[in-house]
Amino acid sequence: MFSQTRLPINDSVQNFLFSQSVNKSPIIITTNGIFEFKLKWEYTPFADKSFKKEINEIDVLNHANFFTIINSNKLYIVSNGAGPVFIYRNNTFERIDNSSLHKNQFGGARFIYNNKIHIYGGYGFWSFKSFITFFDENISQWDLLYNDSKYTPEGRWKPIYNIINDKLYVLGGRSGAAGSTNQDESFSDVFYFDFIEKEFVSVGKLNPSITPKYTLFSYPKIDDNILIVNNKHLTKIDFENLTFTNYSRGKAFSGVDNKYPSFIDDQKLYYISDLNGEKLLNLIDIASIDNEFNSETFPLIINESRISVTQYILFVFLIAFVFWIILKMFSFKDFIKGLILYDENNIYFNNDSVLITKNEQSLISYLSEKPFITAPQVNSIISDQQFAKSHFTALRNKLVGDLNEKLFMLTNNKKCIIETKLPEDNRIKAYKADSSIIKKKISFYTFLFRN
């Protein structure tokens, strides 16, 4: 079901509030009285002109300056930003506060909790607020709601919000003044304030598929979900299940005027549209919206990869391991620098190498571990046969001489291996080398896990 009705006031008149009565029917509040829509608009003038006189001393009666809210079956008009508070009784609005018109929380989230009017965030005195205040009717003043939260979201105005049980859910909002660059979506976070624990809790980052238009108004609720109506579709936001659903059907919501709030009464959605400059009250039955409208449901929060404690520990160990490898690389460079290295086929010094024979490899291998090698031990390297002493001497001289020549090519040292006497017995000829600079060539992997 869909219907449109002209507003009962002149289109040029802007000083009124579109609201709901305590009976949920649409009303238009003017400085002189209230129009209430039943089957048609019915007008009830105020008992006197006291409200008109007092409201005109404060500011123009419109949605930029005031908002309406229902608490305990009573209708209130509140300054947009905290300050003056009026209650409807005795067929007029009576002021009940002792505060001043400070507008310190302009455009904040307004809601009822524990039968008190609350405002979260807002803008005032050149800053965006991150706190919650409430109106205490016992003292007729606004008071600050203190909290124990370690995490506090950045201050903002015009957020999308919903109060569910003991939690105030908040989606995005703005931090740019009207007319500033990128004013529509300054924040993409979702969080809630837990009134029991007195703390803010982060929920996550908003799915970029939803592009909300932020306004001064609270949105109507249905089954603890809020509904946002705009020209393209109707959006239902479910904060508890972290989903949002877009409903569309042709031009069902064309002409929506978001300068005014929207309301729900018994599955009927009321909002104001602008048709060629004419303001109209629209009624659309949403009882069967899930069946009669096209719909798409998306997650409200984007999936952000979270690092578990185990992953964090593994990451720390990986960083430490890489750092250890780098240190070992430098140690390995220092280890091989200036050393005479050898393997089965070559000797190495710095970046050069020379081929060696099997006997040369055996000799240099022995001298890398022992300070001396005796002449008989060298003879056993050369051959296991028995030769004349003079022949063995010639073979030894050739072996040591050839190896010294190769070492000289690499190190420019003519006497790397020196003929001498065995310290324990000067009768025995021996050979020595600086075993501290002769090492068997090893791979970096072996060096890594050997030391």
**Per-residue DSSP letter, 218:** P
Parallel/antiparallel/unpaired status of strands 438-440 and 340-342? parallel
Over residues 148-170, the pLDDT tens digits come to: 899 999 999 999 999 999 999 99
Q: Mean pLDDT throughout 179-190?
A: 64
Q: Is there a domain that residue 342 lies in? A: yes
What DSSP string runs through 404-446? HHHHHHHH--S-SSEEEEETTEEEEEEEE--GGGEEE---HHH
Q: Is there a domain that residue 346 lies in? A: yes
Which of these ranges, 1-5, 92-96, 316-320, 380-384, has the smallest mean pLDDT? 1-5
Q: Is there a domain that residue 419 lies in? A: yes
Q: Is there a domain that residue 64 lies in? A: no
Where does the pLDDT of residue 412 fall: very low under 50, low under 70, confident under 90, or very high at 90 and above? confident
Q: Is there a domain that residue 118 lies in? A: no
Where does the pLDDT of residue 250 fall: very low under 50, low under 70, confident under 90, or very high at 90 and above? confident
Q: How many domains does the chain have?
A: 1
Q: Is there a domain that residue 13 lies in? A: no
Q: What is the pLDDT of residue 370?
A: 85
Which of these ranges, 192-201, 323-332, 353-362, 399-408, has the smallest mean pLDDT? 323-332
Q: What is the pLDDT of residue 184?
A: 45
More confident residue, 51 or 354: 51
Where does the pLDDT of residue 450 fall: very low under 50, low under 70, confident under 90, or very high at 90 and above? low
Q: How many CA atoms lie within 13 A of 228 on its CB side?
A: 22
Over residues 272-327, the pLDDT tens digits come to: 888 887 888 988 888 878 788 888 898 999 876 555 677 778 888 888 877 777 77
Residues whose CB falls within 8 Å of the CB of residue 269, separated by 6 or more in sequence, listed in order: 220, 227, 229, 234, 262, 263, 283, 284, 285, 286
Q: Is there a domain that residue 396 lies in? A: yes
Q: Mean pLDDT throughout 106-130?
A: 93
Q: Is there a domain that residue 85 lies in? A: no
Decide: 325 and 448 in contact? Cβ < 8 Å.
Answer: yes
More confident residue, 368 or 328: 368
Both tokens of 129, joined, read 């607020």
pLDDT above 60: residue 108:
yes
Decide: 23 and 298 in contact? Cβ < 8 Å.
Answer: no
Over residues 193-239, the pLDDT tens digits come to: 999 999 999 999 988 887 777 888 889 998 889 998 887 888 899 99
Q: What is the pLDDT of residue 51?
A: 96
pLDDT above 90: residue 61:
yes
pLDDT above 80: residue 252:
no
Taking the CA atoms of the chain, what radius of gyration do you get in angstroms? 44
Q: Mapping DSSP to helix (H, G, I), strand (E, B) and coil, where does residue 50 land?
A: helix
Question: What is the extent of the structural domain holding 414?
Answer: 338-450
**Residue 399: which CATH number?**
1.10.10
Dihedral (CA of 345, 349, 352, 354) sign:
negative
Where does the pLDDT of residue 79 fall: very low under 50, low under 70, confident under 90, or very high at 90 and above? very high
